[in-house]
Structure 1
């Protein structure tokens, strides 16, 4: 498909530039393996651990690229965004490193741990109702007052180029991957993965993993156009937002399939990762594991990269505590 001339679609050169720009501010996260999960799935799994990233999530990559790509004049009024958590706290982290103000519009139902993290990095939290429409309306008021640069959580070429550095590192560290599986909400990580893999590892198939309770990307993929849900209800709080035009470009052109997992399957996968790998991942990350466990036949005998997108959880409210 020809690139839509109305979209500013980042190139792989943008990814290389982003990786150089953000290197002082991010971790090159490790890739872990697990004999337990390999035996359970019949695949060779390589877990890219963005739960060990700065600010606890891959979103530090895109946020840092956007913040440190601003001119001094652009940075003077600060940055702002709307976010259920990880992008907001990552933008606060990056803005704090540059010493500029940041405002984050967050659903009042967002995890308190994520709101506290935003404030801890020096960000200002403005609460909204837990719907896309409320989020965007409140955010418009914030930008009108502050004049801040809007760093969209995912529908921003600077952010996508930054997120793409994750899969760039993965394929540099692990060769000959048959597939990569990553969670999908708005599609920033998947878009970055598409951008990188289609360029430097074109034989690697890209699968998106989504909660069944928030399956708007799945329905969009099957119907051929964007379908947006306003306020889906899933434990995977980072995956509640809909695709936008820029991320849809990558999803519709490069994703092999979108796989779904139920709430129970997500919780079980998260529990297994904590129990067997001894790492803290959040429910959104566990969706990728859950879909592989559910679709073993698709991955048996394959070398599969699994992007664990973050590890920001409220340790006092773990999902299996009351189950």
Structure 2
């Protein structure tokens, strides 16, 4: 059947729109260690972004603050797990970035060597405590717990920054007295004999006065990319939601992804995969936003962030639009 001029033009415009949508490219960055590793591995091997019609470039970054820096420099478009404290700081400072998801919760524990004389959190006063580097959400949450629950000022203990594996080594060598380590790390080093003092979630509950876990990482997006690709942003969130659901349903597949992309051996990958439900989330519901705002005020109280909460830093449109994508 021959199309009339108007119909032919509409068909051409529709074709061009579809081609443009198919051509949407997103550069996704994540820290190639810690909690980010597992989700990034599943995203890559499962091709969830490609399943939404996106062209994707994955950028693996060397440390936990690197995704935020890469976004600020325009080197990536979306970070799957930027530290919340850093994200709040840069958005409060006016950098054109937006929080579009909550993606990680702080599932960590305060630990000491098994033979340590330290028996309680209050005994950490004056001690060397290993922790994530300054600027990380873990460091901010640790400061809030020690100050709010135990009255420790920064001068009351010595914070020793480092990656989890390095901190575990410091504990073995007795170079530090205690450390805040991720449950993932603890699961991967069963040979290191450590004793648990307290869990972040329990300590945070005392501060927040509710059962919501402390937020560790967020999906952070460049405003320029978000404005140019509103439908693409919704597809990114849809892919994240599907990857999260996939991980909850199939731990064996998560472990396989970790061996293929994360370079973990089978035993470590299985231990990591078992913690999926405890360390990840993909959400931006009103309760999540309330938790972000509460953390800002708590972080501000211990000097981890400054200024006033940047209301414009949270953009819900991609998350809400993703709910309509089958």
Query: TM-score if structure 2 supplies the norm length?
Result: 0.29
Query: As a proportion of its length, which structure holds more strand?
Result: 2
Larger Rg, first or second structure (1 or 2): 2
Query: TM-score if structure 1 supplies the norm length?
Result: 0.29
Higher relative contact order (CA 8 A, sep 6+): 2
